[in-house]
């Protein structure tokens, strides 16, 4: 056995094909196939199911992948500790939601490129729910998402919470006194789409009083939710800082409620095993940038569309 064989195994499993692994390792597909064939002959087991177009590790392949990831991580750590910063190389798949993409992500890319030019970041912008699924499947290396996220394959660290509020247009003429959930449920409610953390938090808030909204509008876009509330379509659940301009102008108002609205907890997540130094560098840089503001809610106001 040799390092090249384990390297091939790791990148085939991670990128999904022999061709993609060959391209990443700057070699030919026959050379990659030869490495895996040699490893399979030495061990006497099949490491990949080749019956489908996408290369999928067998049970034995998954078992060996654990060791391959550790070897890749050790090799990267040696490069990081012994070599120069320019020598450290890595391909990190980062997942973020729309607010980070509009606020601290550009600074993250600039910081990593300046300090570690050999690290390439490939980023995905999507909902927390999609990112949860992708990091659980090993399709992302690190992600900043709304939690909770529980998986034996993923390690999470808390980043903070974002308080929500019920926002409405004065056009609706809502009562000025604090409202019960049962009162608010009589009005159209705007939150995220079904299956999202925000939707679940909104419904749980109502169900604690044994009610559900008569009408719910599910929308995955935060600016659109705020715009719908601004137009008087319904009462939106959102971070107040995301609508600070509308609140200051009086075109939106915070609806007072007897029970505090829910909050969204955010975490940074990465693979529990096999995380390379380049992944940890990106995760540490993200934590550092997020920590530059007093709280996570500050990023919502920073992401407002100035138009």
| 306 confidence band (pLDDT: 50, 70, 90) | very low
Say if residue 295's pLDDT is above 80: no
Say if residue 284's pLDDT is above 60: yes
The mean pLDDT value for 292-307 works out to: 64
Residues 6+ apart with CB under 8 A from 44: none
- Between 74 and 223, name the one with better pLDDT: 223
Say if residue 82's pLDDT is above 80: no
3-state SS assignment for residue 184? helix
Domain boundaries, the chain: 1-83, 87-160+264-307, 165-261
Residue count of the chain:
307
Task: Indicate the pairing of strand 119-125 with strand 253-254.
Answer: unpaired
First to last CA, the chain: 60
| 165-202 per-position pLDDT tens digit | 999 999 999 988 999 999 999 999 999 999 888 999 99
The two tokens of residue 300 are: 């919502």
Task: Report pLDDT for 294.
Answer: 65
| 203 confidence band (pLDDT: 50, 70, 90) | very high
User: 1-83 and 165-261: same fold?
Assistant: no
Picking from 41, 8, 6, the residue whose alpha carbon sits closest to that of residue 25 is 8
Say if residue 59's pLDDT is above 60: yes
Task: Report pLDDT for 80.
Answer: 59
The mean pLDDT value for 56-75 works out to: 84
Contact 136, 153 (CB under 8 A): yes
What percentage of the chain reaches a pLDDT higher than 70? 91
Task: Report pLDDT for 305.
Answer: 47
Task: Report pLDDT for 77.
Answer: 67
The mean pLDDT value for 259-287 works out to: 83
Say if residue 148's pLDDT is above 80: no
The mean pLDDT value for 86-109 works out to: 83
Yes or no: domain 165-261 corresponds to CATH 3.40.718.10: no
CATH architecture of 87-160+264-307: 3-Layer(aba) Sandwich (3.40)
| 307 confidence band (pLDDT: 50, 70, 90) | very low
Contact 270, 279 (CB under 8 A): yes
Q: Which of 50-54, 229-233, 288-292 has the highest mean pLDDT?
A: 229-233
The mean pLDDT value for 106-117 works out to: 89
Please, what is the average pLDDT of the chain?
Answer: 86
Contact 257, 182 (CB under 8 A): no
Task: Report pLDDT for 30.
Answer: 92
The domain 1-83 is placed in CATH, from the list 3.40.50.720, 1.10.10.10, 3.40.50.2300, 1.20.120.1200, at: 1.10.10.10
């Amino acid at each position: 056995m040799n390092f090249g064989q384990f390297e091939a195994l790791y990148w085939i499993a991670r990128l999904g094909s022999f061709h993609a692994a060959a391209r990443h390792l700057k070699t030919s597909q026959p050379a990659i196939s030869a490495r895996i064939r040699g490893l399979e002959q030495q061990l006497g087991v099949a490491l990949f199911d080749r019956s489908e177009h996408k290369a999928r590790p067998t049970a034995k392949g998954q078992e060996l992948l654990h060791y391959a990831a550790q070897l890749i991580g050790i090799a990267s750590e040696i490069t990081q500790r012994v070599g120069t910063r320019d020598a450290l190389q890595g391909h990190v798949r980062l997942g973020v939601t729309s607010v980070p993409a509009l606020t601290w992500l550009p600074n993250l890319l600039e910081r990593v490129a300046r300090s570690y030019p050999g690290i390439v970041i490939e980023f995905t912008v999507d909902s927390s729910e999609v990112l949860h699924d992708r990091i659980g499947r090993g399709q992302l290396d690190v992600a900043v998402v709304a939690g909770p996220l529980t998986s034996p394959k993923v390690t999470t660290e808390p980043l903070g919470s974002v308080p929500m509020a019920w926002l409405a247009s004065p056009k609706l003429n809502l009562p000025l006194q604090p409202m019960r959930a049962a009162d608010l449920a009589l009005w159209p409610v705007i939150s995220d789409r079904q299956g999202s953390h925000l939707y679940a938090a909104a419904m749980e808030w109502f169900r604690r009083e044994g009610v559900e909204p008569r009408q719910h509008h599910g929308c995955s876009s935060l600016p659109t939710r705020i715009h719908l509330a601004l137009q008087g379509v319904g009462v939106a659940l959102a971070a107040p800082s995301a609508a600070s301009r509308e609140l200051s102008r009086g075109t939106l108002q915070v609806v007072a409620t007897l029970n505090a609205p829910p909050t969204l907890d955010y975490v940074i997540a990465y693979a529990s095993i096999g995380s390379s130094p380049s992944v940890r560098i990106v995760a540490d840089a993200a934590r550092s940038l997020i920590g530059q503001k007093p709280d996570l809610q500050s990023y919502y106001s920073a992401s407002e569309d100035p138009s």
